[in-house]
Amino acid sequence: MKIYINRYLNEQILEIKKNEKNFKFNVEKAQIIIYQLTNISKDNIDEDGYISVCSVLFRKLTFRDYNKYLDILINFNLLVRKNYSTKLNSCNKYKIIVSESDASLCEEVDIYDYKLTNKMSSNIMPSAKQNYKNLYNWLKHEDFTIDYENAINKIQELNAKPCIKLNFIQSVNAIRYKNIRFICRQATDKRLHTNITNLKSVLRQFLYYKSKKLVNIDLKNSQIYFLAMLLLSIKHKKVNEIRNTNVNIILHELPETLDMIELQRFVDLAVNGVFYQVLGQELIIEKGFNKLYEKRKFDVKRKRMIYEIYDNPKELMKPITFELLFSSNDTNSKEKDWFYEKFPTISNVLMKIKEIDYTSLALLLQNIESDTILNRVTKFISKHYPHVFMLTIHDSIMTLPEHANIVQKVIMDITSELFGYSPKLSVE
């Protein structure tokens, strides 16, 4: 099996082979570790370039005695490790040591050990391939390509650490050489994680199908839209129509106290795609000063509270909304108090959903999103318009410009049939 890894790191591995005398050093095992680390999901990488990987996942991606090889790579200054913290509930973190000049050069290597090549197949989940064969076939299609040269040039322009750029480059290589990533975790978010979802958004402009650039059809403020539809389902006692969720019991126990006027305003803001803009403007006017808003925030890196100044309503409200929806009920802030004043009965419902586990709401919304986009929209398109190229990025669909109208119509029709309201869409 052929894989592509950083040339500098591979040269260093070959040097280790010459110098390591303590035990029989397997070059292919070291290459697999580097390959898997550089291909990890971008969501697992912090701003300093540290990659978070728990031991169970690391063993699944590599092999039983991976710790020996990690120690050797660390001793030879190819990796740096931060040990796990029980206090912070965090996994081990690893940072690849590579210079700016060496980060962009990759080369092909052969992996012959069948046990190791089988590990590579863990990037393709059989159940996901079976359930979404329509999308898998488009992803591996020979006419689906990436403009490698311009993508690499764009990465070089980015203000990011070399170890982070290395991950971006590997994401580009994975598409270029069809090292497919296709995972859907039915027990958690039910989202489809692929090479496209792992590609930095600024690099998606270099994706092509049959030499044609792709467009991305996006649901505006999608998480808010799906939340609004969930609240309507709760109000009208239609939670059984929400498929593939793990919290139906919680939903049935929710108090029937949703105020209809309050809920209708929330729904109107959501379906019109102006939730962040309108509420951000109201927050600045009511709680800000001189058209500016000062937001208090804890800086993890500096380990102290800092203040950020906002003048753009959307840029202010979007992160605040995610904090309001997805943080623990015990988390307090003046923004949370302000939101409660605006939407008291909605806030009570959200707290009830998060009462036992504050991550329940995020997973619930992702479940609804996945059911809508993956199970309904893409399968309808594949059945009725099999010629339409498409790939999903969670709440959005990439397709050819000439197919954009078809995809938009299917999204609008299906969401209207499901929820009674369709979201605003944007084509980028």
Does 157 lie in the same domain as 40?
A: yes
In a domain, 273, yes or no: yes
Q: Dump pLDDT digits (tens) for 248-285.
A: 545 655 656 789 999 999 999 999 999 999 999 999 99
Does 231 lie in the same domain as 166?
A: no
CB 71 within 8 A of CB 42: no
178: left (phi over 0), alpha (psi -120 to 50) or beta: left
User: 248, 198, 268: which is closest to 368 by C-alpha?
Assistant: 248
Amino acid making up residue 248: N
In a domain, 187, yes or no: no
Q: Dump pLDDT digits (tens) for 360-378.
A: 889 889 999 999 999 999 9
Residue 245 has pLDDT above 50, yes or no: no
Query: Which DSSP state fits 237?
Result: T
Amino acid making up residue 106: C
Question: Where residue 204 falls among pLDDT bands split at 50, 70, 90?
Answer: very high
DSSP-derived 3-state class of residue 61? helix
Does 152 lie in the same domain as 11?
A: yes
The domain boundary, picked from 327, 342, 357, lies at 357
In a domain, 135, yes or no: no
Does 240 lie in the same domain as 169?
A: no
Q: How many domains does the chain have?
A: 2
Q: What's the token pair of residue 129?
A: 């391939």
Residue 303 has pLDDT above 90, yes or no: no
Q: What's the token pair of residue 171?
A: 């994401």
Q: How far is CA 262 from CA 265, 341, 342, 344, in A?
A: 5, 11, 8, 8
CB 235 within 8 A of CB 263: yes
pLDDT averaged over the chain? 88
Residue range(s) defining the domain that contains residue 295: 222-357
What share of the chain in percent tops pLDDT 70? 91
What share of the chain in percent tops pLDDT 90? 55
Does 248 lie in the same domain as 101?
A: no
Does 170 lie in the same domain as 230?
A: no
Greater confidence, 61 or 280? 280
In a domain, 383, yes or no: no
* Burial of residue 21, with CB atoms counted within 10 A of its CB: 0-12 exposed, 13-18 middle, 19 or more buried: exposed
Query: Which pLDDT belongs to residue 41?
Result: 82
Q: What's the token pair of residue 272?
A: 């019109």
Is the pTM above the cut of 0.85? yes
Does 241 lie in the same domain as 295?
A: yes
220 Cβ contact list (under 8 Å, min separation 6) = 273, 423, 424, 425, 426
CB 422 within 8 A of CB 228: no
The domain boundary, picked from 298, 332, 357, lies at 357
Does 171 lie in the same domain as 226?
A: no
In a domain, 425, yes or no: no
Does 171 lie in the same domain as 250?
A: no
Residue 96 has pLDDT above 70, yes or no: yes
Question: Where residue 244 falls among pLDDT bands split at 50, 70, 90?
Answer: very low
At residue 183, φ and ψ (nearest 5 deg) are -130, 135
Query: Which pLDDT belongs to residue 11?
Result: 94
Q: Dump pLDDT digits (tens) for 366-423.
A: 999 999 999 999 999 999 999 999 999 999 999 999 999 999 999 999 999 999 999 9
Alpha helices for 288-403 (secondary structure H): 313-326, 334-342, 344-353, 360-370, 379-384
When mean pLDDT is compared over 20-24, 74-78, 163-167, 379-383, the highest value belongs to 379-383
Residue 325 has pLDDT above 90, yes or no: no
Residue 169 has pLDDT above 50, yes or no: yes
The domain boundary, picked from 339, 357, 375, lies at 357
Amino acid making up residue 413: D
